């Protein structure tokens, strides 16, 4: 028996389970309904004649139940009071209806109503009270309880039948109650599972997240949020956004008012200062407000991203765009942007363009690290000279530019101050390094002229550099012509180097004649450029561009290769060929290996038949150890000629220190030699000195018979000049070699 009851109990609904607010709502509804029923019954009874005592008894019994339902403590006492109230009201209604069968329907309505409590106490109390009423009152006042003879005669039987009917009606409520509990249990289980998943997602995500009430109270946080803000694991119940250890930088204020006032998700970024250590951070907040069906804000969900690293990286990128990484000055892009804004002002703007003279020599000789130190030291020097408010930028390499506002003379004044500041050597890694610059100045007005004024200043700077450097030039319109010529020469040379070199850049040869025999003993190879229309250009039209652009290196290699080819071809007719070597070539670290490779390709060639002509300029401007490099070249068997001797301020020093085989007297000593006794004395001294040092001598620029005679009498071994022959194409020069003579004056020696 006990097992059966336990099984039945387990299968029946447990009851209860309503939240306090839900139970209170239902109880209030049923209490009000009971009060309404009392009013309805009272009105109904008042309309029935002779029912005063019954009506009074009913009201006196129901009203205390209403009061008890309102004042008693505890759910069950209050709900049982309502249940008894409904029992009395239904019983009174039946009595006032003289036991009318239809009046008994009110008991079924009350059963359904009391089922809202989902509690066995009021439900069971009503069922018991209903059965007792039907049995007891059926026996005492049968005519007021039942309206038919059978029930009046057998009230207990009909009380049981009514109780059973009510119980059966209640049974469906019980079934519905059980089904509802099962559904709620499944819903609760699903909800718990969803909440568990959401809790795991919320608590375990590495992104700081928090939920806020509409008043700013912090409802929930995850571990990442607490760790990020260095908060304790357990927050105080009244912890709010005002307690978060972050203070907005500036006058920005809190983000929460915007987050709670917005009907849509927001993404806001703001800079904060931590109150614990004072550090600055950038925070990107993504907020989502959640509203109920009535449109009332329930809470605000937010996740926060610390984007300090990203913002710092972006700031660094912006700084890199605006600043030159080496010197910290403005970059080219920043200068161009700022110059356009500067030119929109009322005052004219002067642009000062400057370039370091012979900077490549510093880079090649001392290394790029030293070159960078020079640029940084120069930047510091310029920063101290340039007036406040001016733009100062490094455009790249060794090119700097300054922009100042003011009258036309403002730029010229600043340019002169910069030039004067270069009189003092730069302090580079503890060493005093003299540096000179070439400066160009141009002035313009109007943002649309930004490119033009920079180009004009660049043109003026180039003019200063072409004039020898260490000077300032103010732009003039006629300077554009030289720039266009320079660009045209550079373009022609690039085109020629990209073509068939023996055709586009042929070698011409000028003979070197012995003063003893009158025979051609050697030749100087001189490069020419053949234009697409067949016109031949002298080196004057492209050597300058080759030196400035660095194309002199591939051009020089071509000249050496072609000279060796011709030397081998004329092996039985020509003693040697000399080739000019520029300072840029001599400074190249690959020059000597390249020369050795060319000679290795022709093992049958006597290397002494190749002569490299080095000018004093090359020796002065070279950034390498000249003596060491020339000694290496000499070890290959190649001879060295000191070209343009006598034009430098230290010619005698070079004559002693350079391992030269040949000294070539500059034409300035040869022209007018027959009439100038001082020149004759100088030449005789040089001839004696060269001979004593084991060197041979060649006089250049011989154009007159008298000079030729004077050189021959002075004992100069060989001469070269237009008196004998201008440089000739290989075919013409070969004909001279076959005839074994130069020009008519040499006929007396043949």
**pLDDT tens digits, 528-571:** 999 999 999 999 888 888 887 889 999 999 999 999 999 999 98
Residue 505 lies in a domain: no
Residue 496 lies in a domain: no
Residue 750 lies in a domain: no
Do 455 and 542 lie in one domain? The reply is no
Q: Which pair of structure tokens corresponds to residue 293? A: 């069906």
Do 308 and 333 lie in one domain? The reply is no
Q: Where is the domain boundary, 460, 476, 492? A: 476
Contact 392, 383 (CB under 8 A): yes
CATH code for the domain of 263 = 3.30.450.20
Quick one: pLDDT at residue 170?
62
CATH code for the domain of 526 = 3.20.20.450
Contact 683, 665 (CB under 8 A): yes
User: Sorting pLDDT into bands at 50, 70 and 90, what band is 332?
Assistant: confident
Q: What is the pLDDT of residues 232-291, one digit of tens each?
A: 888 888 888 888 888 888 766 677 777 877 778 888 888 888 888 888 888 888 888 888
Do 529 and 599 lie in one domain? The reply is yes
Residue 366 lies in a domain: yes
Residue 670's SS3 state is helix
Phi-psi region of 91 (alpha: psi -120 to 50; beta: other; left: phi over 0): alpha
Expressed in angstroms, the distance from the first to the final Cα of the chain is 155
Instruction: Give the ranges where 468-573 is alpha helix by DSSP (H).
Output: 479-497, 501-504, 543-549, 552-569
Q: Where is the domain boundary, 421, 451, 476? A: 476
Contact 268, 284 (CB under 8 A): yes
Do 579 and 725 lie in one domain? The reply is yes
User: Sorting pLDDT into bands at 50, 70 and 90, what band is 440?
Assistant: very high
Q: What is the pLDDT of residues 601-644, one digit of tens each?
A: 999 899 999 999 987 666 655 555 677 888 899 999 999 998 87
Do 166 and 306 lie in one domain? The reply is no
Structural domain count of the chain: 4
Residue 189 lies in a domain: no
Residue 41 lies in a domain: yes
Quick one: pLDDT at residue 419?
92
Do 31 and 115 lie in one domain? The reply is yes
Contact 82, 43 (CB under 8 A): no
Q: Where is the domain boundary, 312, 334, 362? A: 312
How big is the chain by its Cα radius of gyration, in Å?
56
Instruction: Give the ranges where 285-358 is alpha helix by DSSP (H).
Output: 308-322, 332-343
Q: What is the pLDDT of residues 45-55, one digit of tens each?
A: 787 777 778 77
Do 247 and 294 lie in one domain? The reply is yes
Q: Give me the domain span that covers residue 216.
A: 209-312
Mean pLDDT for 725-736 is 93
Q: Which pair of structure tokens corresponds to residue 79? A: 């709900």
Q: Which pair of structure tokens corresponds to residue 582? A: 């520029």
10 Å Cβ neighbour count for 41?
A: 23
Do 284 and 340 lie in one domain? The reply is no
């Amino acid at each position: 028996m006990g097992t059966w009851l336990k099984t039945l109990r387990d299968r029946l609904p447990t009851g209860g389970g309503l939240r306090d607010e839900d139970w209170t709502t239902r109880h209030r509804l049923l209490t009000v309904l009971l009060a309404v029923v009392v009013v309805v019954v009272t009105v109904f009874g008042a309309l029935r004649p002779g029912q005063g005592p019954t009506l009074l008894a009913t009201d006196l019994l129901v009203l205390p139940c209403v009061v008890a339902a309102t004042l008693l403590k505890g759910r069950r006492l209050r709900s049982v009071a309502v249940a008894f109230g409904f029992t009395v009201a239904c019983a009174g209604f039946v009595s006032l209806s003289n036991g009318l069968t239809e009046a008994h329907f009110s008991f079924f309505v009350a059963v359904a109503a009391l089922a809202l409590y989902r509690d066995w106490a009021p439900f069971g109390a009503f069922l018991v009270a209903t059965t007792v009423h039907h049995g007891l009152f059926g026996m005492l006042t049968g005519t007021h309880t039942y309206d038919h003879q059978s029930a009046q005669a057998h009230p207990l039987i009909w009380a049981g039948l009514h109780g059973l009917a009510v119980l059966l009606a209640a049974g469906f409520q019980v079934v519905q109650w059980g089904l509802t509990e099962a559904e709620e249990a499944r819903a609760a289980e699903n909800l718990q599972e969803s909440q568990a998943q959401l809790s795991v997602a919320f608590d375990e995500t590495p992104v700081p997240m928090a939920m806020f009430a509409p008043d700013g109270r912090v409802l929930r946080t995850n571990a990442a949020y607490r760790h990020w803000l260095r908060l304790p694991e357990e927050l105080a119940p009244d912890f709010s956004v005002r307690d978060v250890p972050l203070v907005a930088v500036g006058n920005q204020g809190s983000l929460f008012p915007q987050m709670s006032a917005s009907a849509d998700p927001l993404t806001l970024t703001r800079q904060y200062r931590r109150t614990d250590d004072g550090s600055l951070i950038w925070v990107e907040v993504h907020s989502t407000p959640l509203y109920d069906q009535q449109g009332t804000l329930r809470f605000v969900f937010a996740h926060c991203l610390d984007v300090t690293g990203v913002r710092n990286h972006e700031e660094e990128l912006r700084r890199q765009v605006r600043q030159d990484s080496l010197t910290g000055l403005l970059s080219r892009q920043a200068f161009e942007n700022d110059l356009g804004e500067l030119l929109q002002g009322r005052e004219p703007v002067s642009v000062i363009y400057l370039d370091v003279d012979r900077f490549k020599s510093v880079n090649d000789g001392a290394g790029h690290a030293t070159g960078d130190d020079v640029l940084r030291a120069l930047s510091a020097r310029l920063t101290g000279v340039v007036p406040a408010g001016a733009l100062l930028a490094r455009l790249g390499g060794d090119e700097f530019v300054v922009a100042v506002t003011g009258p036309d003379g403002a730029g010229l004044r600043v340019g002169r101050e910069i030039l004067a500041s270069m009189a003092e050597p730069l302090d580079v890694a503890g060493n005093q390094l003299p540096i000179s610059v070439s400066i160009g100045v141009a002035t313009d007005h109007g943002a649309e002229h930004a490119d033009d004024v920079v180009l004009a200043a660049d043109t003026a700077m180039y003019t200063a550099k072409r004039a020898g450097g260490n000077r300032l030039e103010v732009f003039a319109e006629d300077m554009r012509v030289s720039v266009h010529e320079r660009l045209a020469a550079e373009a022609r040379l690039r085109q020629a180097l990209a073509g068939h070199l023996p055709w586009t850049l042929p070698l011409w040869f000028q003979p070197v004649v012995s003063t003893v025999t009158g025979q051609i003993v050697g030749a100087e190879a001189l490069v020419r450029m053949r234009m697409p229309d067949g016109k031949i250009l002298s080196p004057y039209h492209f050597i300058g561009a080759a030196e400035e652009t660095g194309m002199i290196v591939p051009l020089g290699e071509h000249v050496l290769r072609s000279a060796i080819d011709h030397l081998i071809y004329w092996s039985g007719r020509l003693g040697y060929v000399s080739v000019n070597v520029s300072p840029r070539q001599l400074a190249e670290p690959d020059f000597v290996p390249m020369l050795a490779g060319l000679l290795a390709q022709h093992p049958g060639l006597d290397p002494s038949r190749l002569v490299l002509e080095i000018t004093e300029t090359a020796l002065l401007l070279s950034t390498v150890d000249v003596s060491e490099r020339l000694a290496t070249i000499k070890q290959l068997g190649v001879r060295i000629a000191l070209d343009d001797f006598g034009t430098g301020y230290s010619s005698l020093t070079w004559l002693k220190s350079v391992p030269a085989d040949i000294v070539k007297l500059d034409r300035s000593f040869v022209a007018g030699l027959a009439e100038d006794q001082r020149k004759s004395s100088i030449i005789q001294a040089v001839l004696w000195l060269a001979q004593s040092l084991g060197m041979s001598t060649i006089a250049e620029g011989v154009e007159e018979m008298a000079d030729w005679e004077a050189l021959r009498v002075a004992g100069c071994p060989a001469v070269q000049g237009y008196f004998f022959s201008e440089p000739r194409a290989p075919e013409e020069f070969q004909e001279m070699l076959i005839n074994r003579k130069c020009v008519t004056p040499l006929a007396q020696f043949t």
